[in-house]
Amino acid sequence: MIRMPTAPQPGTGLRERKKIRTRQAIRRAAYRLFEERGFEATRVDEIAAAADVSPSTVFRYFPTKEDIVLSDEEDPIVEAALRARPAGEPPLASLREALRQTIEQLYASPEAPEEIARRMRLIATVPSIRARLHESVADTSGMLTRVLAERTGRRPEDLEIRVFMGAVLGGLTEAMLHVAEHHAEVDVVDVLDRALTVLQNGLAD
Amino acid sequence: MIRMPTAPQPGTGLRERKKIRTRQAIRRAAYRLFEERGFEATRVDEIAAAADVSPSTVFRYFPTKEDIVLSDEEDPIVEAALRARPAGEPPLASLREALRQTIEQLYASPEAPEEIARRMRLIATVPSIRARLHESVADTSGMLTRVLAERTGRRPEDLEIRVFMGAVLGGLTEAMLHVAEHHAEVDVVDVLDRALTVLQNGLAD
DNA sequence: ACTCTTCTGAGGGTCACTATCACTTGATAG
DNA sequence: CTATCAAGTGATAGTGACCCTCAGAAGAGT
């Protein structure tokens, strides 16, 4: 007989909760060690020990050491927000709103700003993390390209759409790095706005 | 007394020629092995053996295995071409011309098309190479940002310029990947033109 | 030929990451 | 409550890219 599980609520079971706790334990331990002695000077074994799990478990949760810092949980949020936009809206406007909502949501939880600041500091200073960031942005770009292609009724391999999304994400990544390098002095939403303005008007002049 | 060498012609000495030959030997050996058994299945030691040098020498010439494929010799060409553009010209137009010239120059040597095709195939298929590509594009972006800032009399940390260059390079990178995935069927200059058109007009709609 | 500098090879080491497998533990059926 | 199954974990033993150091070879200038 074909296995037909009784559709357990996501996030319900003890198993799920345990996984979330382990994930957080690893991340917390890692961040603490990164602050203390720096990213590259911290070995994965040490993170594992500090989080009280085995090294293999660390890799089960995070495919690379850099992903402990990055680990894109934003993607699904942006995707949902983008899909929720009205059909006729111009792409860049849809993205603007989707991104604004995502940022808002990310800053919602109380300890978020602290964590984001730590993350920004690492992105700004550790080259291998920046490298991985660019990779993950490329993935995000692919995902958004698919959504946008679907919304506008084009094929996702369409050159024009790819270039469009590549440009938007390239611009926004630079904006993000700008924030990372000046996180104390700038307002994220303001930078996002200025970046989108450049994308809208500035490329022609 | 301060060492004041008699400014040897670049490219003249026996030393220089030998370095170039070694570099080419490594690259050729590597490409041959990559074709034969794939990128990841080829160990650096094997490349070294095939090129008849020691493994350490391979790393002296190429900081990472991926760089054997990428090794940005284009950057200085683009930079020079961009600096040669008239002062008042709009940035995107300057870039268009600089890029067109660079591509032309890259395809100049007789065996270039073959090599470029091989390179494209690797870029299209090997994830770690694509990752490194994005990194190196980020470096190029930084360099072009500096040039453009200089030409327009702004500071290179200026948000608007960074976003502009990030967007342009993000778009062009996607165009390049498009070429890599369809290298047999498309014309590079044509794709470049279409990409630049999107960058000029398309972001607003 | 003589020195100085640059380039190379050898050897040994680090560490991120993988694969395998036995073991434990939460979920599910009866 | 128990038997069964699937999923998650840890121990162990790799692999391979990359780094460091140091001794020797080989152009370059006197």
What domains appear along chain B, each with residue ranges and CATH number? 66-201 (1.10.357.10)
A15 CA → D11 C1’, Å: 23
Band (pLDDT 50/70/90 cuts) for residue B10 is low
- Confidence at residue A69, expressed as pLDDT on a 0 to 100 scale: 97
Tell me which chain A residue has its CA closest to the CA of residue B157.
A178
Structure-model confidence comparison of residues B66 and B1, the more confident one: B66
- Estimate the share of chain A in helix, then strand, then coil, as percent rounded to the nearest 5: 75, 0, 25
- Confidence at residue B205, expressed as pLDDT on a 0 to 100 scale: 62
Q: Encode pLDDT of A127-166 as tens digits.
A: 999 999 999 999 999 999 999 999 999 999 999 999 999 9
For residues A149 and A99, is the Cβ–Cβ distance under 8 A? no
B9 CA → C1 C1’, Å: 26
The number of angstroms, rounded, from the C-alpha of B115 to the middle of its chain's C-alpha atoms is 13
Look at residue A175 and tell me whether its pLDDT is greater than 60. Answer: yes
Mean pLDDT, chain B, rounded, equals 92
Q: Encode pLDDT of A20-73 as tens digits.
A: 999 999 999 999 999 999 999 999 999 999 999 999 999 999 999 999 999 878
Q: What is the mean pLDDT of residues B25-45?
A: 97
B23 CA → D25 C1’, Å: 19
Residue A90: what are its φ and ψ, rounded to 5°?
A: -65, 140
- Confidence at residue B8, expressed as pLDDT on a 0 to 100 scale: 44
Look at residue B76 and tell me whether its pLDDT is greater than 90. Answer: yes
pTM of the model: 0.92
Residue B153: what are its φ and ψ, rounded to 5°?
A: 70, 30
Q: Encode pLDDT of B92-127 as tens digits.
A: 999 999 999 999 999 888 778 888 999 999 999 999
Nearest CB to A92; choose among B169, B172, B204: B204
- Confidence at residue B202, expressed as pLDDT on a 0 to 100 scale: 67
Q: What is the mean pLDDT of residues A100-107?
A: 92
Tell me which chain A residue has its CA closest to the CA of residue B168.
A167
Look at residue A14 and tell me whether its pLDDT is greater than 70. Answer: yes
Structure-model confidence comparison of residues A177 and B71, the more confident one: A177
Q: Tell me the shortest Cα–Cα distance from A141 to chain B, in angstroms.
A: 10
- A14 is near strand C: CB distance < 7 Å: yes
Chains A, B: CB contacts within 8 A come to 137
- A55 is near strand C: CB distance < 7 Å: yes
List of chain B residues whose C-beta atoms are within 8 Å of the C-beta of residue A157? 178, 181
- A38 is near strand C: CB distance < 7 Å: no
Look at residue A4 and tell me whether its pLDDT is greater than 80. Answer: no
**Residue A201 in contact with partner chain B when CB distance is under 8 A:** yes
- Confidence at residue A111, expressed as pLDDT on a 0 to 100 scale: 77
Tell me which chain A residue has its CA closest to the CA of residue B181.
A157
Alpha carbons B134 and A134: distance in angstroms, whole number: 6
Please state, for a pLDDT cut of 90, what percent of chain B lies above it. Answer: 82
CA A86 to each of CA A15, A148, A150, A151, B156: distance values in angstroms, whole numbers, following the listed order = 38, 12, 13, 10, 38
Look at residue B32 and tell me whether its pLDDT is greater than 80. Answer: yes
Q: How many DSSP H helices and E strands does chain B contain?
A: 9, 0
Q: What is the mean pLDDT of residues B63-69?
A: 98
